[in-house]
Chains A and B, each alone.
Chain A
């Protein structure tokens, strides 16, 4: 009986793969554990700066250093696992901010050696896409990846994720964050969330530049324009801060929906998946939904737990890679900002 149980346990264990993922490429630090498509735990902390300020790499790294071990303990406790149960340690290799990436990679490298587990460097963007696919069950979608550092339209073709459209300057989330700084909107819980709430109370549409170039977009002109004009318009009473939030969202999101639709027409795709921090904006999801309905396509989106940077997404992409035989040797476990 006892040996039967042992054999059973060995088989069960061989069939299940547990991956822990470390993410810290920007101002979020997250550690998640995935067991064959099941999210066992996914705790996260965010480094929040005062209104009017962004997050600097060295200060963000200091924040991550201060909390990472607490988050790691939470991840293991919530999952009810011991280090011995983990099969692979995945971490974000890039792209992202240098100092926070280094901090998190160091911890991942250390625990991998302490626990005697293989290490795996994961691309941050692929992490977002794989997590979106896992949660929504989208099969082969055109992906809109929108966050503070990235704005890309991606589709899978010829055995690779390929970028069809992207920003040619700053990311959409960066544009929103920096607008928030201009008119001193709070960074808690995130500038994008607060803009979204204010936009609901805006009604007057203020015309802003609109720049779409094929499947690419440009946001820097809009930002310069609104940085220049915001205070004048607010002081003269021409519009309210809420109107500006509303108009900015309407303009930026129209551009994103337009390039997504163009990429879909280009690839003949009938599915859209929105990932990345800006992807949890409900107005963006609503506009994308209208576009999809008109084309007879399906929209897939997730909420803030999985849209915003988190550890489980790195674990999930790592799980896929580990299962297909990838590992990162210690000398290759560097990070990259790009």
Chain B
């Protein structure tokens, strides 16, 4: 049975259009039972040891689906999961038709708008709120960037994607690191947006019941690693 379905998946992918090769998966556009779908296929990474590769690929496929379902149950926008094939490591997801990434949206607003900061404030608010709700469900995204958030066409509602590095945890530490990862990705991708990210954090803090401990951890994490004091 599993073999049959995975052969069917392989057959489907042959006809599908390759959208993008990301860092760890290929994305295809396909039609699944009449609906526009995106297929995310994790292919083997030949640079790493086969045992490690199989373990990571399987775990990430499982985690991705689990976290999406958990988010959707809590009413947080994420693509619908249509089908999962664990043999070929494929996830069939709803295609968010006509959406743009938050990254492209911020970049184009910065280019075209006379006062981008002002214009993007509601978006930063929205990002803070959706992340607060996700963390309140104990979902740690693991790879928060502005490329992993979509804006539905013509609407201001956000959709979270790419849960491959996600996991479930209630620890403020994990949530703090999640925000730290976003902060670095955000500021390195979009120069001169410190005030905007601050806005995001304020909205996160206001929206999440558990935010004080998380923000405190975030401040701690910022001082770790190469930035820590090395007196002696």
Contacts and interface: CB of A to CB of B under 8 A. Distances in A.
Of residues B47, B147, B185, which shows the largest number of chain A Cβ atoms within 10 Å of its Cβ? B47
A265 B204 CA distance: 28
Contact of B191 (A157, A166, A213): A157
B36 to A, nearest CB: 24
Main secondary structure of the interface of A (DSSP, over half): mixed
Interface in A126-182: 149-150, 152, 157-158, 160, 162-171
Interface residues of B, number: 38
B226 A213 contact: no
Interface stretch (B2-10, B19-27, B69-77): B19-27
A163 B184 CA distance: 8
A258 B188 CA distance: 18
B177 interface: yes
Interface in A296-338: 337-338
A216 B181 contact: yes
Interface in A12-41: none
A168 B177 contact: yes
A65 interface: no
Contacts of A150: 226
Nearest to A294: B46
B185 A215 contact: yes
B183 to A, nearest CB: 11
A338 B227 contact: yes
- Give the bracket for the number of chain A residues in contact with chain B: 35 or more
A156 to B, nearest CB: 11
A207 B232 contact: no
Nearest to A219: B225
A250 B231 CA distance: 33
A168 B191 contact: no
Give the most central of B142, B224, B229: most A CB within 10 Å.
B224
A171 B227 CA distance: 12
B225 A97 contact: no
A288 interface: yes
Interface stretch (B49-57, B83-91, B114-122, B206-214): B49-57
B32 to A, nearest CB: 25
Contacts of B143: 213-215, 262
Nearest to B230: A337
B165 interface: yes
B145 interface: yes
Given A266-B145, A290-B46, A214 B230 contact: no
Interface string A244-287: 00000011001001100110111000000000000000000001
Contact of A207 (B24, B55, B231): B55
Contact of B47 (A157, A167, A290): A290
A205 interface: yes
Contact of A338 (B46, B181, B230): B230
A24 to B, nearest CB: 15
12 contacts: A95-B226, A98-B230, A163-B184, A168-B177, A214-B181, A215-B185, A254-B47, A257-B47, A264-B23, A265-B23, A287-B47, A294-B47
Given A168-B221, A205-B52, A261 B23 contact: yes
A266 B101 CA distance: 12
Given A215-B184, A266-B145, A171 B47 contact: no
A163 B180 CA distance: 13
A164 B191 contact: no
B224 A291 contact: no
Contacts of B145: 214-215, 266
A205 to B, nearest CB: 5
A295 interface: yes
Given A214-B144, A265-B22, A250 B49 contact: yes
Contacts of B144: 214
A222 interface: no
B189 interface: yes
A115 interface: no
B165 A250 contact: no
Contacts of B230: 97-98, 337-338
Contact of B189 (A205, A254, A266): A266
A95 B229 CA distance: 11
Nearest to B174: A213
A337 B185 CA distance: 25
Given A213-B165, A214-B145, A168 B180 contact: yes
Contact of B225 (A169, A261, A290, A291): A169
